[in-house]
Amino acid sequence: MKATSITYEKLVNLGDFNHEKFSITIELDDHEKSSDGFEAAKKIVQRNLSDPKIKIGMTTYTKEELEQIIKNKNNYNYQTVKSAETALMQLEDKEELPF
């Protein structure tokens, strides 16, 4: 049996008993593995969440926190600033849906 499509959903708690669901369904080509489709679907949903989190070392940052690191670079070590710049560029260069 071969999977022909993959659906990935993420449920985000908004507080006060509310939530928002992000999902995407990807159709697989004959030569694609379902595990590759799952990873691609997961990445697309993660990239399109309204408040993405970026992990640098052992710490997780929001986009706003990354911008603050870059703005106040004298308060951080070189590696943290460079990692924040790279992560922020990746967020800004995020791909649109691949179709």
Residue 7 near residue 25 (C-beta atoms within 8 A): yes
Res. 7 pLDDT band, cuts 50 70 90: very high
Does 72 lie in the same domain as 34?
Answer: no
What's the mean pLDDT in 76-99? 77
DSSP result, 16-48: TTEEEEEEEEEEPPTT--HHHHHHHHHHHHHHT
The residue among 11, 10, 8 whose CA lies nearest residue 40 is 8
Same structural domain, 23 and 65: no
Each residue's pLDDT tens digit, 24-71? 999 998 888 888 888 888 888 877 775 667 777 788 888 888 999 999
pLDDT of 3 reads 83
Q: Determine the Cα–Cα distance for residues 27 and 5; give it in Å rounded to an integer.
A: 4
Number of domains comprising the chain: 2
How many Å is the Cα radius of gyration of the chain?
Answer: 17
Whether 11 and 42 map to the same domain: the answer is: yes
Whether 65 and 37 share a structural domain: no
Q: Are residues 36 and 67 in the same domain?
A: no
pLDDT at 79 over 50: yes
The answer to whether residues 30 and 60 belong to one domain is: no
- Confidence band (pLDDT; 50, 70, 90) for 99? very low
Closest CA to 98 of 54, 32, 21, 1: 32
Same domain, 57 and 46: no
Residue span of the structural domain in which 85 resides: 52-99
Query: Angle 79-85-88 (CA atoms, 0-180°, nearest 5)?
Result: 135
The better pLDDT of the pair 8, 57 is held by 8
Residues 40 and 58 in one domain: no
